[in-house]
Amino acid sequence: MTKQEKVKFVIDTLNKLYPQTPIPLDHKDPYTLLIAVLLSAQSTDKKVNEITPHLFEIADNPKDMVKLSVEEIREIIKPVGLSPMKAKGIHGLSEILLEKYNGQVPADLEALKELPAVGHKTASVVMSQAFNIPSFPVDTHIHRLMYRWNLSTGRNVVQTERDAKRLFPKDLWNKIHIQIILYGRQYSPARGWDLEKDIITKTIGRKSVINDYYKAQEKRKKRK
């Protein structure tokens, strides 16, 4: 297969498996999505969705959020981890949104990245999912699969994002980045990976990755 044929195979397979791509994080507007994405760093969507209803019941907008102290925010979000940094970021970005943007989340990647605790990936998710502006946020699943599928060198997430944007049509970015995440969780995880169920990697995967998988399987059999 040529690289373009591989890309088409990925797109076709993902569309069959995931024709609908609901946003994994519960939210009702750009602000609540921004907070939810920020909270999801080094946590799970499931855990964030357990915490945010309580947080948003108290404060679902910048004006109400700044009425809380950093410590009060931290107490609510503690279960998602990294709570001191995240609480400080949530309070700080809420202040800036009120001061600079009339309490609205800006639909601008660079402006988002200037907010406290908001990195490139978080900003890209908000651009994609809140404003439907083509973006390709790369998380650990996408980074892993782009390497497994031999569509990127896996050198770093910056290179992976660059390769993904070059290979996949721009009008698909917002949908396919979620599809890849869903596929990675279900069929191609970092741990407990079963290549026989991972049709994409088995069909187009990097030879060294596939060889290493089978070698590891042989070692496990010998141990038994």
Task: Show which residues are catalytic.
Answer: 121, 139
Mark residue 42 as left, alpha or beta (left: phi above 0; alpha: psi -120 to 50; beta: remaining).
Answer: left
Instruction: Please state at what angle helix 173-186 crosses helix 120-129, rounded to 10 degrees.
Output: 110
Cα–Cα distance for residue pair 77/25, rounded to 1 Å: 15
Cα–Cα distance for residue pair 40/43, rounded to 1 Å: 5
DSSP 44: -
DSSP 177: H
